[in-house]
Amino acid sequence: PGAAVRISVMGCGYLGAVHAAAMASLGHDVVGLDVDTAKVADLAAGRAPFFEPGLGELLAEGARSGQLHFSSDVAALTAAEVHFLCVGTPQRRGENSADLRHVDAAVAQLLPHLKPGDLVVGKSTVPVGTAERIAEQVRAVEPAATLVWNPEFLREGHAVADTLAPDRLVYGVPEGPAGERAVAVLNRVYGKAVAEGTPVVVTDLTTAQLVKVAANSFLATKISFINAMAELCEATGGDVVQLAEAIGYDARIGRRFLNAGLGFGGGCLPKDIRAFMARAGELGVDQALTFLREVDAINMRRRVRMVDLAREECGGSLAGRRVAVLGAAFKPDSDDVRDSPALSVAAQMSLQGADVVVTDPQAIANASAKWPDLVFAETVEETVRGAELVLLLTEWPEYVALDPARVRTLVRRPRVLDGRNALDAETWRAAGWSYRALGRR
Ligand code: UDX
C-alpha cells in the first residue's frame, strides 16, 4: 500500500468512469480511454457524463491533482502498467447471449501496446470462458504480460462508495509466479481497501468470471422470489410487504433485495441472467439454469400486472385516460433507463391509448431519447395535473416524500398505484386517496 500504480482504464461508462476516478482518488496515476470523444471531453473537463452521486466531485479532484486523465487515443495507455477492461457487454440484439464486440475491440487495441510485466485486468461481466480466450491472446503477443479477472459488483447510484469500499475483492489469477505477482500488484492497487480488512478471494480465472454472474443471478432470484410471493398474495389477499419483513428476520434469508414491486431492470441483472442461460446452453448444462427462465418470466409478468391494474382502476380501458407516471429510471439515484420497468409500463399504457405523462428527477433526457413517443414533464405538478390515475414506478425519495394532500389538489381523481411498495398507504388513504399496490390488500 502507498505506492502509486500507473493505471489505464478502457471504457468510460458507468463502470469505467467511476473506476478511473476512484483509482485516481486513491493516489494512482490513471488514464481513462473511450472511443466516444464527447464523453472523453466531458470527463477531462471534470464533468460527469451521466448522473452518479459523488462522481462529479471525484472527477474535479482528479483534474486538480493531475492524477486523472482521459483520452480517446489508445497510445495514452503506454505509460500504464495495469490495464483495466471496463467496456460494456450488452445483450445481443434478438438473442439472449452477450455481445462481446466492445471487449474484443478493446483487447485488439490494447495488445500492440503491451509491455513485459504489464497486468491486464478484466472487470467487464463476460460469459465464462472469455477470460481464458483473452489470456491466450495476451500470451501470444507478450508472454511476460498477465491477464487476470477482477469482477466488479458496484451498484449504480452507489458506484463511488461501492468502488472505494467494496464488500469483497475477487482476484481470478493464473497458477504460479505470474499469479502471485498479479495478486501483489492488485493488492497495491486496492491497498486502502485491503488494509481496511476487505475480504479478498483469490481464485482461478474461471471461478472469478462465474462469481459475478452467480451473484447477479442470486440477486435476481431473490427479487423474483418475493415477486412470486406477491402473486400469491394477490390471489389470496395476503400482504407481501409484511411477508418480506417476517421472512427477512431470518438471518439466513435476510431482508435486503426482498422489495416486491415492479421487479428488476437496468443494464445488468436482466441481460446477465439471460447471457448466463445462453452460456450454460453452449456448455451443455442448460438444465442447471432453467430456473433463471422462471426468474425472468416472473419479473416480466410484474410489468404486465401493473398495466392490468391500471386498466382495472380506469374501469376496464385506458383509452383516453390521463395517467401520471412518477419515475423513468430503472431505479432511484440513477439516470439509467436501460430495460427500465417504469418506461416499459408507461409505453404499454400509452399503446393502450392512455394519455401518459412521465416525469423523473434525472432520467428525462435519456428516456426521451429512447422513447420519443412518450410525453415527459419536468415537474411533478405538470405531470399529475388533471390525472385520473397516478403511478409511482421508480421510488425516488422526493416522490416517496410527496405530500398526498397537496398532490390531491392537482389531480382529477385521487387514485394512486404504488409499483414499488414505497408510499405510506395509511398517509395516502388518510388524505383521501384510493391506494393500491402490487402484492398488497
Ligand atoms: C446490480 C447488482 O446489484 C450489482 O452488484 C452489479 O454489479 C450490477 O447489477 P444495479 O443494476 O446497479 O446493480 O442495481 P440494483 O440496485 O441491483 O437494482 C437492480 C434492479 O432490481 C432495480 O431495477 C431495482 O429497482 C430492482 N430491485 C432491487 C427490486 O425490484 N427489489 C429489490 O429488493 C432490490
Which residue, among 234, 282, 280, has the nearest Cα to 260 in the 3D structure?
234
Catalytic residue, chosen from 12, 86, 268, 314, is 268
Residue 1 has pLDDT above 70, yes or no: no
Render pLDDT for 176-211 as a digit per residue (tens, 0 to 9): 999 999 999 999 999 999 999 999 999 999 999 999
Render pLDDT for 95-115 as a digit per residue (tens, 0 to 9): 999 999 999 999 999 999 999
Contact status, residue 223 vs residue 257, Cβ threshold 8 Å? yes
Told to judge if 314 belongs to the known catalytic residues of this protein, a careful annotator would answer no
* Cα 346 to middle of ligand 1, angstroms: 20
Q: Ligand 1, closest atom to CA 258?
A: 33
Q: What's the rounded mean pLDDT across residues 13-32?
A: 97
Q: What's the rounded mean pLDDT across residues 290-311?
A: 98
ipTM of the complex: 0.97
pLDDT on residue 177: 97
Mean pLDDT, the chain, rounded, equals 97
Segments making up each domain of the chain, as ranges? 6-203, 213-296, 303-437
Render pLDDT for 347-398 as a digit per residue (tens, 0 to 9): 999 999 999 999 999 999 999 999 999 999 999 999 999 999 999 999 999 9
Which residue, among 65, 90, 87, 93, has the nearest Cα to 74 in the 3D structure?
87
Q: Is 357 exposed, middle or buried (0-12, 13-18, 19+ CB in 10 A)?
A: buried
Architecture of the domain spanning 303-437: 3-Layer(aba) Sandwich (3.40)
Render pLDDT for 135-179 as a digit per residue (tens, 0 to 9): 999 999 999 999 999 999 999 999 999 999 999 999 999 999 999
* Cα 411 to middle of ligand 1, angstroms: 32
Residue 75 has pLDDT above 50, yes or no: yes
User: Residues with Cβ within 6 A of ligand 1?
Assistant: 153-156, 216, 219, 223, 257-259, 261, 263-266, 268-269, 330-331
* Cα 264 to middle of ligand 1, angstroms: 6
Q: What's the rounded mean pLDDT across residues 237-262?
A: 98
Mutate to test the pocket of ligand 1, among 223, 227, 326 (most ligand atoms within 8 A of CB): 223
Q: What's the rounded mean pLDDT across residues 328-340?
A: 97
Mutate to test the pocket of ligand 1, among 162, 167, 219 (most ligand atoms within 8 A of CB): 219
pLDDT on residue 441: 85
Contact status, residue 31 vs residue 8, Cβ threshold 8 Å? yes
The CATH fold assigned to 6-203 is Rossmann fold (3.40.50)
The CATH classification number of 213-296 equals: 1.10.1040.10
Residue 236 has pLDDT above 60, yes or no: yes
Q: What's the rounded mean pLDDT across residues 275-296?
A: 98
Same fold: 6-203 with 303-437: yes
pLDDT on residue 3: 83
Mutate to test the pocket of ligand 1, among 50, 257, 264, 306 (most ligand atoms within 8 A of CB): 264
Q: What's the rounded mean pLDDT across residues 66-74?
A: 96
Q: Ligand 1, closest atom to CA 272?
A: 9
Residue of minimum CA distance from atom 14 in ligand 1: 155
Q: Is 127 exposed, middle or buried (0-12, 13-18, 19+ CB in 10 A)?
A: buried
pLDDT on residue 2: 64
Q: Ligand 1, closest atom to CA 260?
A: 31
Helix, strand, coil fractions of the chain, as percent rounded to 5 = 45, 15, 40
Residue 46 has pLDDT above 50, yes or no: yes
Q: Is 392 exposed, middle or buried (0-12, 13-18, 19+ CB in 10 A)?
A: buried
